[in-house]
Amino acid sequence: MRVYSGHNGYGLWEVPPGSTPALLVGIRPTFCATSHIVGKIRMPVDNDEDGVTLHTCEPRAPWAQLWPQIRHTG
């Protein structure tokens, strides 16, 4: 399994191939044709990741087209 991220400098690295389905961690599935909640991250300590929602995503366009909307810095 490959991991891709649009966060900060990682967003400048590889873009996921084609329209490959994905698991989204902590981002809203606004660019997905279909999406389902499949779980939440549960941490043994209280931190920013505790409770983050996991979604499946069938992208509504190829990732290369969507990536500029997904990338963010800061």
The answer to whether position 45 is within a domain reads yes
The answer to whether position 51 is within a domain reads yes
Number of domains in the chain: 1
Structure tokens at 13: 């690295």
The answer to whether position 30 is within a domain reads yes
The answer to whether position 1 is within a domain reads no
Structure tokens at 22: 């994905």
The answer to whether position 2 is within a domain reads no
The tens digit of pLDDT for each residue in 10-69 reads 888 889 999 999 999 988 999 999 999 999 999 999 898 899 999 999 999 999 999 998
Domain of residue 34 covers 8-70
Residue 74 pLDDT > 80: no
Query: What distance in Å separates the CA atoms of residue 53 and residue 14, rounded to the nearest whole number?
Result: 24
The answer to whether position 61 is within a domain reads yes
The answer to whether position 34 is within a domain reads yes
CA 7 to chain centre: 10
Cβ neighbours for 42, distance < 8 A, ≥ 6 positions apart: 50, 51
Cβ neighbours for 14, distance < 8 A, ≥ 6 positions apart: 2, 4
